[in-house]
């Protein structure tokens, strides 16, 4: 139910406004005078405010100025009630942030329509604002938590995902993969081509590791995957070899065939440790050892 606040120095007008709008199902509060109106607005945070212009203690312009200074009331629809003699001052109210006005005397239909229109516009405004805020949040999340080249989650998501995975699975394989001799490759090719290759590797890895939040890009040329497993499974090396075989197929880029190999290091939680950083270090060391032996192979940590 919408919550409305009516402000006027005339109790009769307040009773009329209240009875009219309660007929439409609104929850209507009243304030006798400008000072009480400001206090009520701050306390109630209404969905719409109806305010008289000419009041002896504080006129409607000053009420509007005071209300707009409060963050939670800056966008609250504000509707002026004004006599015909005050019409020349309406531009002042609009410049201060009023949304609409209604001239006295008014009838039920006029008041009902004016309030309904302003609330509907406010609803549309809030819906657009929330949609834009959601898009902005999504963009911020992407920029903070995802790699811009591979579109894979980055290190910022790693700890949370590891914790969730270990709570679900008693054993977890940590696979660290990197392209063999990547420094030589990246130094001898344009950056744009290198980035295409990095994204291509990510795309091929996705087809092998399809579990949500299981595949990450940690830094230059280093991919990581969490893979639920049996602590004593011998299938991991076979799985890793399948991945390496797929990556060894040439990448066809800009009319060229790019031939690459990669190496994988494996560590098992909890066999090789319970700490994520410790497991990463061991898996990375195993990968470096595999690369030093010629690459294009997978190796467990010692």
Domains and CATH numbers, the chain: 3-138 (3.40.50.2300), 155-300 (3.30.70.270)
List pLDDT tens digits, range 166-220: 998 889 999 999 999 999 999 999 999 999 999 999 999 988 876 555 899 988 8
pLDDT digit string (tens) for 242-286? 999 999 999 998 888 999 999 999 999 999 999 999 999 999 999
Q: Whole-model pTM above 0.75? A: no
CA–chain centroid gap for 76, Å, is: 25
Q: What is the mean pLDDT of residues 23-31?
A: 96
State whether the Cα torsion 273-279-284-287 is positive or negative: positive
């Amino acid at each position: 139910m919408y919550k409305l606040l009516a402000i006027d120095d005339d109790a009769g007008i307040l009773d009329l406004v209240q009875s009219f709008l309660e007929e439409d199902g609104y929850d209507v509060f009243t304030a006798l005078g400008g000072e009480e109106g400001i206090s009520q607005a701050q306390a109630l945070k209404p969905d719409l405010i109806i305010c008289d212009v000419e009041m002896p203690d504080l006129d409607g312009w000053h009420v509007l100025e005071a209300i707009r200074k409060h963050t939670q009331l800056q966008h609250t629809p504000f509707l002026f009630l004004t006599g015909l003699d005050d019409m020349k001052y309406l531009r002042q109210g609009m410049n201060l942030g009023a949304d609409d006005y209604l001239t006295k005397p008014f009838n039920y239909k006029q008041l009902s329509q004016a309030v309904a229109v302003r609330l509907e516009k406010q609803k549309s405004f809030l819906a657009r604002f929330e949609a834009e805020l959601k898009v902005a949040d999504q963009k911020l999340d992407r920029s903070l938590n995802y790699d811009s080249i591979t579109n894979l989650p980055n290190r910022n998501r790693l700890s949370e995902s590891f914790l969730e995975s270990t709570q679900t699975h008693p054993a977890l394989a940590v696979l660290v993969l990197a392209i063999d001799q990547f420094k030589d490759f990246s130094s001898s090719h344009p950056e744009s081509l290198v980035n295409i290759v990095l994204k291509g590797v990510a795309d091929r890895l996705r087809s092998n590791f399809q579990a949500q939040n299981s595949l990450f890009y940690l830094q230059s040329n280093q991919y990581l995957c969490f893979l639920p497993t049996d602590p004593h499974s011998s299938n991991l090396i076979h799985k890793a070899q399948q991945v390496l075989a797929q990556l060894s197929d040439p990448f066809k880029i800009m009319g060229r065939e790019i031939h690459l190999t990669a190496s994988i290091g494996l560590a098992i939680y909890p066999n090789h440790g319970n700490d994520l950083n410790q497991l990463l270090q061991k898996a990375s060391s195993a990968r470096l050892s595999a690369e030093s032996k010629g690459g294009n192979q997978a190796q467990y940590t010692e």
